[in-house]
Each structure stands twice: as structure tokens, then as C-alpha cells.
């Protein structure tokens, strides 16, 4: 089996037309790769287009405010990606004279750029012969070549990297890297792949051994933490609302939110109401959602209630709702505002 030849032939027949495939500009490729980390193409494509429209060059991105960058990123999650994106744009302008590093090892020095992203930029922009290894590549190689090592282990990553590098054709690294990622995204999908139409069916270890559902092997499990958020929508006599920037280094760093009352364990709504009454003594207090709104993050599930607190006086730091909506905020708060106040 000539793996790379078969794979590239499949790719040329089946590839999607995507805007970042029409260029070898490292800025656009870097932008797309950061957006597509932990994100499906269908979700990420509109964000990519918005960023390119707002910031046509790396200089434009570097000159933007962090709030503008975070607002455009709103809803994509993993907001550290956006902060790193902004920081790296400044690094490229200030330390690299506005030009991207041109080698894999130089690219690794950039904030937020790991081995996979560096390999993607190096191969797509500069045709460097370095193989990409991500979740799609793990899945494709483990199934076809029968690699039953635990992908949660660092040593396994090295094995996959070595195999991918051996399979990489020296005369077409960019094409091969695009092809193997696309094959994992469209054909060799995580669940219920269409093996009968697969070009590798007769050579696939997992198909022959009936191990499609168990490869790749991943034993490490994520511990999901429950957190209980009670958001207090503090409104003054002008109907303005109090929001503040989240300074905590955890989730949603530098995004804006309502006043937060967080508990480490579930409390009854009556207990929460009494706590709010004692601490704030509002003129009126309205629970906006009796059933907790569940917002699922990779390592945390947030159980959220919103309470509206009305006060009769003017609160100096409170902002009009239109101004609040211009600020970057967690998508769960943005959606709540759209549903309840616009």
C-alpha cells in the first residue's frame, strides 16, 4: 500500500473548499489554526472570516484592543486562545518586524503555538517537511496501522510523530498534511465512520479486527467539576446595569460579567435569595430562571441562575444595556441578555 499516494488522491477528490486553503500567507494560516483548535470547521469558519475582515494583517491585529479581539472571539470558548493570539501578533510586529518566523522551530517560540500548529504553518506556508499530528491524525494512523498505544501518554505522541514523518512525502508535505487532517475530519470520523466506502478498507487494521470503536486508545479521563453560579443583575433607577471585568485567571479571564455569587455546592433557591437579601437589600429581587441553566465546559459544568436586583438610586458605575452589549462577555451571559433585555 502506498499510503501517502492513496491519501492525497482521496483528498484531491473530496476536499472541502475553505478560505485558508487558498493562501500560503502565514498570518491567515496561523489565524485559522488557532481558531480551529478545539473547534469544528463549521463553527470556526465564520469567526475566521470576521477576524480577517476586522484585522486584514498581523499589524492590524496587534494594534487592536484586547476587548475588540475578545468580543470577536465571543462564543468560541477557550478564550486563552484569543489572548495568546493578540499577544503573539504584538510579538511578531515588535520582535519579528511584522514577519512570521519561517521555520518549525522558530514558530514554536510563539505564544500559543504548539507542535501541531507550528508544523501546520511551517508546511502550509513554507513547505517544510514536518508532519502534523493532532486528534485526526491519531485516529487515522491508529486505526489503519493498528497502533494500540494510549494517546494520553507523551511517549505515544512520539511514536505517532515518527510514523507520520516516515509517511510524509518530501515533495508534497503541505498536501499530505492537509490530506490526513481532512481524511480524519470527513472519512475516518470518531463515531460510525463509513468504512465500506473507505479507500483504506482492505488495508485497515481496525476494520479487519473490528476495533473501529476502540482505536485510538485513550485511558485518561477528564474529571468534571460542578460549580454553582448565581449572577446578580444589579439595576439602578436609570435601568443601567453593573458589570465588571473578570480578573480571575481561570475561565473567562478579562471577559465582563454580572456580579457573581458562587457556591461550591448546590444550595436551595430560597437559601440563595435570603443570602442576596441580607447582603444587598434590593428594592425588588426577581429570579429570572427557576431551572438552572447548565453551561458545559471541558472540565467544568456550570449551574447558573440569574437574579435581577432593582435599586431606587443611581449607581455611578452602572452602564446602559447598549454599552454592556458592546463588551466581550461569556456567551451564556450574552445569550441571556439577548433573550431578556433586547
Cα–Cα distances in Å, from 314 out to 111, 233, 238, 251, 259? 43, 15, 7, 31, 17
Residue 224: other Cβ atoms inside 10 A = 11
CA–CA gap between residue 120 and residue 231 (Å, rounded): 41
Q: Which residues partner with 88 through β-bridges?
A: none
C-alpha distances in angstroms, 86 versus 64, 113, 250, 325? Answer: 8, 12, 18, 22
Distance of CA 302 to CAs 20, 37, 214, 307, Å? 34, 22, 30, 16
d(CA 339, CA 144): 48
Q: Which three cell numbers stand for residue 228?
A: 454553582
Bond prior to 254 in cis (omega within 30° of 0)? no
Instruction: Label each residue of 185-229 as H, E or C.
Output: HHCCCCCCCCHHHCCCHHHCHHHHCCCCCCCCECCCCCCCEEEEE
State whether residue 180 is helix, strand or coil.
Answer: helix
Task: Tell me if residue 159 is catalytic.
Answer: no
The one catalytic residue in 17, 33, 166, 257 is: 33
Return the biggest CA–CA distance within the chain.
Answer: 77
78 CB-contact burial (10 Å; exposed 0-12 / middle 13-18 / buried 19+): middle
Cα–Cα distance measured from residue 132 to residue 138, given in angstroms and rounded to the nearest whole number: 10
Question: Using an 8 Å Cβ cutoff, are 217 and 150 in contact?
Answer: yes
510514523: which residue's cell?
A: 163
- Catalytic positions: 33
Amino acid at each position: 500500500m502506498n499510503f501517502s499516494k492513496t491519501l492525497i488522491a482521496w483528498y484531491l477528490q473530496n476536499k472541502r473548499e475553505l478560505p485558508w486553503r487558498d493562501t500560503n500567507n502565514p498570518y491567515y494560516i496561523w489565524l485559522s489554526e488557532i481558531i480551529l483548535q478545539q473547534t469544528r470547521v463549521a463553527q470556526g469558519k465564520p469567526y475566521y472570516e470576521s477576524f480577517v475582515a476586522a484585522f486584514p494583517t498581523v499589524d492590524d491585529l496587534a494594534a487592536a484592543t484586547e476587548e475588540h479581539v475578545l468580543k470577536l472571539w465571543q462564543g468560541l470558548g477557550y478564550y486563552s486562545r484569543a489572548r495568546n493570539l493578540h499577544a503573539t501578533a504584538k510579538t511578531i510586529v515588535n520582535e519579528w518586524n511584522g514577519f512570521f518566523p519561517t521555520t518549525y522551530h522558530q514558530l514554536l517560540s510563539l505564544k500559543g503555538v504548539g507542535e501541531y500548529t507550528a508544523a501546520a504553518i511551517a508546511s502550509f506556508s513554507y513547505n517544510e517537511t514536518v508532519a502534523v499530528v493532532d486528534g485526526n491524525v491519531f485516529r487515522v494512523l491508529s486505526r489503519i496501522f493498528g497502533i494500540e498505544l494510549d494517546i494520553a501518554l507523551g511517549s505515544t505522541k512520539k511514536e505517532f510523530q515518527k510514523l507520520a514523518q516516515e509517511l510524509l512525502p518530501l515533495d508534497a508535505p503541505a498536501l499530505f498534511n492537509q490530506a490526513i487532517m481532512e481524511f480524519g475530519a470527513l472519512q475516518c470520523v470518531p463515531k460510525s465512520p463509513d468504512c465500506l466506502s473507505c479507500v483504506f478498507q482492505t488495508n485497515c487494521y481496525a476494520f479487519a479486527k473490528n476495533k473501529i470503536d476502540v482505536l485510538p486508545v485513550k485511558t485518561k479521563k477528564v474529571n468534571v467539576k460542578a460549580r454553582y453560579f448565581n449572577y446578580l443583575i444589579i439595576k439602578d433607577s436609570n435601568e443601567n446595569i453593573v458589570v465588571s471585568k473578570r480578573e480571575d485567571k481561570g475561565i473567562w479571564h478579562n471577559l465582563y460579567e454580572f456580579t457573581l455569587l458562587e457556591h461550591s455546592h448546590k444550595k436551595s433557591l430560597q437559601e440563595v435569595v435570603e443570602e442576596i437579601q441580607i447582603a444587598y437589600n434590593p428594592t425588588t429581587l426577581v429570579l429570572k430562571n427557576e431551572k438552572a441553566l447548565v453551561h458545559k465546559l471541558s472540565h467544568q459544568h456550570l449551574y447558573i441562575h440569574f437574579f435581577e436586583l432593582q435599586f431606587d438610586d443611581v449607581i455611578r458605575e452602572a452602564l446602559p444595556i447598549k454599552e454592556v452589549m458592546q463588551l466581550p462577555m461569556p456567551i451564556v451571559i450574552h445569550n441571556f441578555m439577548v433573550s431578556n433585555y433586547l
